[in-house]
Structure 1
């Protein structure tokens, strides 16, 4: 974990949380079942937010959403039932609310940013909570998908880390699920990223990675007949 970037952004937010908030986050992102959805992902997003600080209206609220959006991440419940992304996102938003000392409007904004990650492709700002909120929501969702444009070696490792998080799932089922996800992203076309600035930075690299990974996973599936 890059302590400097985390400390920089937490210093902007600490007074708007209770005293246990950061310890709660730290424990969550160090859970042993995590690999991709750990501190490294949060640091990556905060680093990009820092480099693109001119894009959001309320970078502090985007930073808060970055810290909390994956604060609950389980791929299955203790009884073995597979857990959905929306369940994790809802639980993350509720965990934020328990530790939040933001005023009502800011807390609603962070909540809505977190909840948008339950359905990246379809999420929209329902209410313009402050001037520029809908753009901030689009920017945050673009940030969360920016790892799709990582160098191939990093993209490949991210996929391996996600497979680790689904270590209980049969390999073939995992690959099928990833192919469906990759193809949904490819089907979005230019709409994979919402802001023109994001598309200029990430779209070409992301689509190349997605196409390469789709071919690779289909080859793995073909080598593992049902």
Structure 2
């Protein structure tokens, strides 16, 4: 059985090691060092990881992340590459479920911050896994969007989310839709059709978690 979480993790670690700690990422204001610290916090500091999603805990999470980011770069990259077996999100039982989308997205965060990037030709199996994750991601990201949004991945499926009104259609491969729905619209290669105002609003919406 393919281990996409592991392969995306290894590819991301290799790329960050090649580019160094000060390379840009798609995440505004974050370098590769910032991203690496985020990943280490998420896997190794459950006391602070809740701050990734919960505003009341964000201050503590950010203080922990900054302390992690100050570690020597080789040590930080080793911790990204080799998560602890006890981690709630990266143990052998949870790794594929919790980390395939996470590491795919962050791999692309680094890849697409460099000039001249091109989309990868992803394995069909990875595309299928990402599409299965897209349903939950779309419902979360578009729960407040003031229109019906039809999300289509040709060859994989379609789903409709939103709050009603004039429809907007987003078409792309599962990988590109994953990036779009996680708030990376400016680097996601998708087609957005619908009323111009709504299409523009969707392209500029804050869809990240």
**Which TM-score applies when normalising by structure 1?**
0.28
More helix by share: 1
More strand by share: 2
